[in-house]
Chains A and B, each alone.
Chain A
Amino acid sequence: MSILNEISQNLQCGKAKVVKELVQKAIDEGISAESILKEGLLDGMGVIGEKFKNDEVYVPDVLIAARAMSAGSELLKPLLASSGVKATGKVVLGTVAGDLHDIGKNLVRMMMEGKGLEVIDLGIDVSAERFVETAVREDAHAICCSALLTTTMGEIKNVIDAAIQAGIRDKVTIMIGGAPVTDSFCKMVGADIYTADAASAADAAVQVCSR
């Protein structure tokens, strides 16, 4: 079995430590960072993603695979940057102002990272301005807002308004999610994409970034 194949296999089993060691070994053997990422890490995540869609594996399995992916890609980041390889895409993620819930948002982050996206996670209680400032500074493809409460989901509208004010509304896709959020709410406030769960959020983000 080639080392890249081994990375993929171990990643599918969620063996973060082994994946990290193998990635280091591959780097030492002189394999390019881009090959390690694409043929090792992302290949494994692709298999897991497909199995997840077919109900063969579940969220915890995807999560530990994503964690193994992160462990491996940490080592690759500096190499990728220096060789000019860009991440699949970049998104800004956070829970809106006044809302302290982060478990679902973290799930979204891990799923997105598993797809090879660079996620700038602003955490919880994130103001509309901070979402927009970060998106401008990082030249992000998307702003992803999470809201768990009916009392905070209105904040999403503020993020959109801030994006309009900053003049980036046509450049950045605004994705929203969270238990009370719906597709019709998405249309009502003028956001771009609503997704019902973490896995579909990651899929949608990849699509946005590859446009």
Chain B
Amino acid sequence: MHLRAEVLSPKDLQTVHENTLALLEKYGIRIKHQEAKMVFLEHGAKVEGDHVKMPPELVMKALSSVPSSFILTGRNTERNVGIGEGYSPVFGPGAGAVFISDYERGRRPGTVQDLRNLLALSQSSKHIGVACAGMIYPFDMPVGVGLEAAILETLKISDKPLFGLSQDSAVSEICIEMARVATEGKGEHYVMGVVNSLSPMAWDDKMLGSIMVYAANNQPLVLACCSMAGFTSPTTLSATVIQNNAEIIAGIVLSQLVRPGAPVVYGNTSTITDMSTMNLCIGAPEYQLISTAASQLAKFYKIPYRSGGGLTDAKALDMQAGIEATTNLLFSMANGVNFVLHALGIMESFMSISYEKWIMDEEIIERIMRMTGDGCRLLPDAVEMIGNAVASGSGSFIDHDDTLDNFRSEFYRTPVSNRQNWDTWEKNGISCQKTANGIWQKRLKDFVPPELPSYVLKELEKLVQMP
């Protein structure tokens, strides 16, 4: 089945693009970072106080140097992923969460052990393409060693390409260095980071520093925005899309001015604001309108696109979680996304990761892949097959070759969703939460971390001990 979500007509797309250029030229973007300002200035942008105004030619030239795809190298090159045009979407796990929750212990602050557990689940997930160092903030990490130690844990437990940290230029530097050591020169691009604009129409110093460090090192970076329509961007969604586009493009232009051809990914997780609480609503249907428009824009510029995954505002693993995660994953996959962050586990408007939702989100992705995969294959001999089967008189297809040969590939088997009848279900005391709990517990029990050569580990440990 082909799903192709589009929200902007070609004419709308052109208008959004032109409005974006006009916004960047007339009003510019707010930047305080001196070095960044200088880069813009050197390349013909106008700098008026903290406003950087860029002529359309500068913007278009910079956008034209962005690669439409790139390969991200892992410690194990068999796990390399291609991101962008011509590659299947790459999924990353939930990230940036503060709390963790599970069926047995409920919701609590994240710990190092939780990070390790999530890394093991990520390494053993056939859907996750990257090892993400920033899934959960470990509250029990000793003060002062936090972030590098999290990167080290990630490199120890996973050999997938690193989705690293990029909170500021210093963290970006150390993260890139650790990834470089870990991948031992096996590839050109070996760590990907993510930065976020400061809506409305600004980039803060830390993010700008990270953009410059990642670009200078020729390492891929996701430039995203997460504005709240009606709060940090306009209520009218099309205007939010224009503002977001200007913000992201401003960041991308900087990356290309620092190093033309540095790989970047165009990201967007902007959504609406709940007008009774002023909370961010990542499970809102409007998110997919904005995200689909953003995906069209990224394609218009021939830049890989990143969107959100199983996003939900639900606090429990209830129907809200199911509705929101499913519609968000479905539309993300339908809008031609190249990289999905928060594909698994994320809940509660990015605040927490649930172990059980992680497993359930895997099922949602598999269901969508089943629907959007091979579709309905035709058989060369369907007439004879049906005729002979019916004539053979067994009265059912259960023991027919068509079943025996094909049921495993033709029917997707849900790992979590239950298909038993009432009595069995009731007798076994089954719930989706309990089933999912069993699955992740078993995955952790069976997990064997990939090998990390001792000389690499030694090098990495030296970097972590750096002040």
Residues of A within 8 A of B (CB): 14, 58-61, 63-64, 67, 102-103, 106-107, 179, 182-183, 194, 196-197, 200
Q: Which B residues are in CB contact (< 8 Å) with A61?
A: 404
Q: Which B residues are in CB contact (< 8 Å) with A107?
A: 398
Interface size class of B (residues with CB under 8 A): 10 to 19
Scan residues 403-420 of chain B and give those whose CB is less than 8 A from a CB of chain A. Answer: 403-404, 407-408, 420
The reply to whether the CB of B421 lies closer than 8 angstroms to some CB of chain A is yes
Instruction: Name 14 A/B residue pairs within 8 A (Cβ), A-sorted.
Output: A14-B404, A58-B408, A59-B398, A60-B403, A60-B404, A61-B404, A63-B399, A64-B404, A67-B399, A103-B398, A106-B395, A179-B421, A182-B422, A196-B420
Contact A102–B404 (Cβ < 8 Å): no
Further contacts, 12 of them, CB under 8 A, given A107-B398, A196-B421: A58-B407, A60-B398, A60-B404, A60-B407, A63-B398, A63-B399, A64-B404, A67-B399, A182-B423, A183-B423, A197-B421, A197-B424
CA distance A90 to B218 in the complex (A): 75
Q: Which B residues are in CB contact (< 8 Å) with A63?
A: 398-399
Interface centre among B398, B403, B420 (most CB of A within 10 A): B398
Q: Which A residues are in CB contact (< 8 Å) with B34?
A: none
Contact B399–A196 (Cβ < 8 Å): no
Q: Which B residues are in CB contact (< 8 Å) with A58?
A: 407-408
CA distance A60 to B408 in the complex (A): 10
Q: Which B residues are in CB contact (< 8 Å) with A197?
A: 421, 424
Q: How many whole Å from B461's CB to the nearest CB in chain A?
A: 42
Q: How many whole Å from B128's CB to the nearest CB in chain A?
A: 23
Scan residues 372-424 of chain B and give those whose CB is less than 8 A from a CB of chain A. Answer: 395-396, 398-399, 403-404, 407-408, 420-424
Contact A194–B403 (Cβ < 8 Å): no
Q: Which B residues are in CB contact (< 8 Å) with A183?
A: 423
CA distance A208 to B331 in the complex (A): 53
Closest chain B residue to A66 by CB distance? B399
Contact B395–A103 (Cβ < 8 Å): yes
**What's the dominant secondary structure at chain A's contact region?**
helix
CA distance A179 to B420 in the complex (A): 12
CA distance A82 to B13 in the complex (A): 86
Q: How many whole Å from A45's CB to the nearest CB in chain B?
A: 16
Contact B424–A106 (Cβ < 8 Å): no
Contact B424–A64 (Cβ < 8 Å): no
CA distance A76 to B60 in the complex (A): 83
Interface centre among B395, B403, B423 (most CB of A within 10 A): B423
Task: Fill in one digit per residue for B410-444: 1 if any A CB lies within 8 Å of its CB, else 0.
Answer: 00000000001111100000000000000000000
Contact A196–B423 (Cβ < 8 Å): yes
Contact B424–A196 (Cβ < 8 Å): yes
Task: Out of B395, B399, B403, B422, name the residue touching A102 (CB < 8 Å).
Answer: B395
Q: How many whole Å from B434's CB to the nearest CB in chain A?
A: 16
Q: Which A residues are in CB contact (< 8 Å) with B422?
A: 182
Q: Which A residues are in CB contact (< 8 Å) with B408?
A: 58
Q: How many whole Å from A178's CB to the nearest CB in chain B?
A: 11
CA distance A59 to B398 in the complex (A): 8
Task: Fill in one digit per residue for B60-92: 1 if any A CB lies within 8 Å of its CB, else 0.
Answer: 000000000000000000000000000000000
CA distance A58 to B421 in the complex (A): 17
Q: Which B residues are in CB contact (< 8 Å) with A60?
A: 398-399, 403-404, 407
Top 8 A-B pairs ranked by shortest CB distance?
A: A196-B424, A103-B396, A196-B423, A63-B399, A196-B421, A60-B403, A183-B423, A60-B404
Q: Which A residues are in CB contact (< 8 Å) with B404?
A: 14, 60-61, 64
CA distance A197 to B422 in the complex (A): 11
Q: Which B residues are in CB contact (< 8 Å) with A14?
A: 404
Closest chain A residue to B421 by CB distance? A196
Contact B399–A194 (Cβ < 8 Å): no
Q: Which B residues are in CB contact (< 8 Å) with A67?
A: 399
CA distance A102 to B393 in the complex (A): 12
Closest chain B residue to A63 by CB distance? B399
Q: How many whole Å from A183's CB to the nearest CB in chain B?
A: 5
Q: How many whole Å from B427's CB to the nearest CB in chain A?
A: 8
CA distance A1 to B259 in the complex (A): 67
CA distance A41 to B420 in the complex (A): 29
Interface centre among B396, B399, B420, B424 (most CB of A within 10 A): B399
Q: How many whole Å from A127's CB to the nearest CB in chain B?
A: 22
Closest chain A residue to B405 by CB distance? A60
CA distance A197 to B423 in the complex (A): 10
CA distance A10 to B422 in the complex (A): 36
Q: Which B residues are in CB contact (< 8 Å) with A102?
A: 395
Closest chain B residue to A67 by CB distance? B399
